[in-house]
Amino acid sequence: MDLLIPLYVRLPYTTKQENGWVIADCVLLRIASQGRDPEEAKDNLRRELEFFLRTVVEMGTLEDVLHDCQFKKVPRQATDPDGVIIDGLPHEPTDDWLLVQVPPTWMVSTHGDARTG
């Protein structure tokens, strides 16, 4: 039996009204989207972020893009024993964080061979 294992990242975002639209903005990755209401703007932003992440992973440029967006690698000491970053990031989902799937989805076989999907 094969199991699909998706990976997710939580990203902060803000919303604001502008010219009759709601703008959802993920400042960390410099990506924004719009909608007629906050929920539509948030859903559009999630789709844009997933497309963006899929594209940079496929192109092999994720690390370069993150560096350009001022991300820095975190030493292992900055994480808790389970590997979750604990330096100022919320552990529970909140209204101002989006859960975004990071491609690719990983597949693992119960027979022990792993491959990406």
Q: How far is CA 54 from CA 32, 38, 50, 67, in A?
A: 16, 24, 6, 17
Overall domain count for the chain: 1
* pLDDT at residue 110, rounded to an integer: 54
- What does the DSSP assignment read for 33-85? EEESSHHHHHHHHHHHHHHHHHHHHHHT-HHHHHHHTT--PPPGGGB-TTS-B
In a domain, 110, yes or no: no
Full residue range of the structural domain in which residue 44 is found: 2-103
Q: Are 61 and 55 in contact (CB under 8 A)?
A: no
In a domain, 55, yes or no: yes
Per-residue pLDDT in tens (0 to 9) along the chain, 117 residues: 676 667 788 889 999 999 999 999 999 999 999 999 999 999 999 999 999 988 988 888 988 998 898 887 766 555 555 555 444 444 455 567 777 776 665 555 555 444 444
In a domain, 108, yes or no: no
* pLDDT at residue 36, rounded to an integer: 97
Instruction: Give pTM, 2 decimals.
Output: 0.68
